[in-house]
Each structure stands twice: as C-alpha cells, then as structure tokens.
Amino acid sequence: MDKVPFNHCPSNKKNCVSTIDLTSYHRISPIPIEESSERVKEKIHVALAHFDQTEVKEETPKYIHAVFSTKFLKFKDDVEFYIDEYNHLLHIRSASRLGYYDFKANRKRIDRFKHLFHSL
C-alpha cells in the first residue's frame, strides 16, 4: 500500500487543503485515476501550464512538488501531487507558506486544477 509523502494541513490554520485530511475545512477529494503514472504526470504538467507563475521544484516517478507565486505580493504556495498506484488515486495538497487564512485560494486553485485535469 502506498503512503502519501506529504503532511496533513495544520489544524490551527485555514490556508491549506489536502486529500489526506479529514476535517471539513481542509478536506478535498482525491482524483480517481485509471491511466498509467506516466500519463497522469503528463496531465499534471499540462494542467499546471495553464497557471501563471508556477514552477515545478521537485519530481520523482510518483510525486510532483510545484510552487505557485501570487501575482501582486509574490507569496509562495506549495502544491504537491502524489500518484497512489495501489488505490488508483491522485492525492493533492495545496498550502500557503504564510498567514492563517487564504480566502479559499488553495481550494479554488485545486478546483480549477481538477477541472483542467479532467478535461485532458
């Protein structure tokens, strides 16, 4: 069984969403996948290309870490993707590095990512 390599969202902050969290504020659903890991990674890269000021910082066969920079103040948000081949799921975590509340920016980002991913 695969272990997701990223942390839960901090319980005292509302600037993070994740597929591994259980609290309603932080919880997002993973994406069911049927394609190969290579195809899933290709779709992740294509979807990420639709976002401005995004850079992939780390990549392994089943993991991608991207950094998003906000337009005006250049705050950095970390977005992680993990391909769980055992359960056929794409796990995601999106978190702001600073602050307490993000006005649901991370949730909106992942909703947009999911829409793009499913359209490919």
On the question of pLDDT at 2 being above 80, the answer is no
Which residues span the domain enclosing 77? 16-119
Residue 19, phi-psi category: left (phi > 0), alpha (psi -120 to 50), beta (remainder): alpha
Does residue 75 sit within a domain?
Answer: yes
Q: In the prediction, which pLDDT does 19 show?
A: 97
pLDDT score of 20: 96
State pLDDT tens for residues 59-115.
Answer: 999 999 999 998 878 899 999 999 999 999 999 999 999 999 999 999 999 999 999
The answer to whether residue 4 is domain-embedded is: no
What's the domain count of the chain? 1
- Does residue 112 form part of some domain? yes
Q: What is the pTM of this model?
A: 0.95
Q: Residue 101: inside a domain, yes or no?
A: yes
Residue 1 resides in a domain: no
Residues 6+ apart with CB under 8 A from 100: 12, 13, 14, 15
Question: Is residue 15 scored above 80 in pLDDT?
Answer: yes
> For residues 24 and 42, what is the distance between their CA atoms, to the nearest angstrom?
30
**Residue 63 maps to which CATH number?**
3.30.310.80
**43 lies in some domain:** yes
